[in-house]
Each structure stands twice: as C-alpha cells, then as structure tokens.
Amino acid sequence: MLMVIDAGNTNVVFAIHNGEKWVGSWRMSTIPNHTSDEYAATLLILLQARGIKTHQIDNIIIGTVVPPILYQLRLLCRQWFGVEPLIASSDLDWGFKILIDNPYEVGVDRLLNGLAAHTLFGGPLIVVDLGTATTFDVIDEKGNYCGGIISPGLTLSLESLHKAAARLPKIGITKPISVIGKETVNAMRSGIYWGYIGLIEGIIKRIGAEANCSYRVIGTGGLASLLAEGTDIFEKISLELTLEGLRLLANRNKTS
C-alpha cells in the first residue's frame, strides 16, 4: 500500500491507497515541533481502526511546504513503517516542464495540483487552491506548469481585519444572506466572501486575456466548496487534488 503525506501550513493529511482506491484519509493540525512519536501515537490508532497494518505500507511519499516538519515526518516513516519516503521536489520526474524562472521556488503543492488536475481533466486549465493562501496555477494543454498567482487566504484576511481594527469582531466564514450588510458581522462576511469571488473571477479573466486562451477552472482546498456556491467560474471542485498528485508522482518515481 501507498501512504501519502500532505503537510501544509494548517493541516497534515495522511492517506492510504491500496492500488485501486483510497482506503483511509486523516487530517491533523500542523504543529512544527510535533515529534515523530506523537504523530505515530495518533496515526497508528487510526490505521488500526481501518484494519491496516504498518507492514502493509511499503511505499510512502511526502509533500510539504513547511520545511521544519519534514525531519519528524521522515523519522515517522523510517522508525514506525520501515520505509524511506520519497520527498516531492522539483528534481523528480513530473512528466511536464516547469516553465518559470526558478523551478525550485514553486511550492510542491502547486505542482502536485497541476499534475493531478491535468491528468484528471486535461488542459489548458487553472487550478484555484483556497487554503491558507489563495493560489492560481496555470497549466497548458500539454500539462506544463506555466506559473501563477499567490494572494492571502480568506482566513488570513479575516484574522488581519480583526487584529488591525479594534472594533471588528472575529468571525467565521459563511456565505452572506445579502451583499449589503445591515450590521457589522454581515458587512464583514459580505466583504470577505464576495470580495474573494470578485478576486477569483477577476484574476481568471485577466489570465485568459493575457494568454489569449480559454481555461477550464478547477477548485480545490478547504474553502472551495463554499466559494463555489457564489460563482459558476469553477468547472469542477476536487478536494483530494493534492493527494492524487502525490499518488501520481509516487507512481512515476518508483525506486523499485
């Protein structure tokens, strides 16, 4: 079995693929000083609940944009599963070209999303990842990574608004009832929600105009489904895109 580990800024996702389908997926908070033993203490219980033995996992791949967490995740794989993990990086065989000035700068999560999206849906396309940051990644018809855009995520924007303005409360993200807010909380929700809808629609329009190309738009990330309620810009919402990218990358770079 293959275990994929997607370590992002907010969550670490562990998922198991048996060669035919995903048989388990678990999410934990990203804690940079978490030890390999602490991860194992939780993960082994979750695996046991699904009837998965550690010796059944013979292949592991890690994708992360949080360097401090990588050492402990490597130890987890070596000490508890007896597997040397493959680390997703721009040096691996991706099956496409990374057409930016410095390929080492791009986050592997964005490459993984591009790999999975093009494999599943074809191209050209734009992947919009609504996570800690909101990113737009442009993939051409051949699957090559052409670059993209990074903007603050919705949660970060709300946190900044709350911290910078003393009278604005801390609120959750929901779709507002109306665009015009009649009190502070609804006004904030409208600004964040419809502001990001405008951001997404506007940037995609500008990308298409600049490239003189019509793109399919794929949404992913924890807030993608919520934002999709307010726009028809997304052709597809695929919440497991990064996990699929890790699986595909591991298959392309098998060491044995």
Which stretches of the chain score pLDDT less than 70? 162, 164-169, 255-256
Q: What is the pLDDT of residues 142-172, one digit of tens each?
A: 999 999 999 988 877 777 776 766 566 677 7
Q: What is the pTM of this model?
A: 0.89
Choosing from 19, 53, 87, the residue where a domain stops is 87
- Residue 109 annotated as binding site: yes
93 noted as active-site residue: no
Q: What is the pLDDT of residues 1-43, one digit of tens each?
A: 999 999 988 889 999 999 999 999 999 988 888 999 999 999 9
Q: 240 is in which domain, residue-wise?
A: 108-244
Residue 27 is assigned to a structural domain of this protein: yes
7's CB contacts (< 8 A; 6+ apart) are 13, 30, 62, 63, 64, 65, 66, 69, 70, 73
- Residue 110 annotated as binding site: yes
Same domain, 220 and 132: yes
- Residue 9 annotated as binding site: yes
- Report the number of distinct structural domains present in the chain: 2
93, 101, 109, 140: which one is catalytic?
Answer: 109
Residue 98 is assigned to a structural domain of this protein: no
Same domain, 138 and 228: yes
Same domain, 72 and 121: no
Query: What would the two tokens of residue 217 be?
Result: 């738009």
Residue 80: the pLDDT is 95
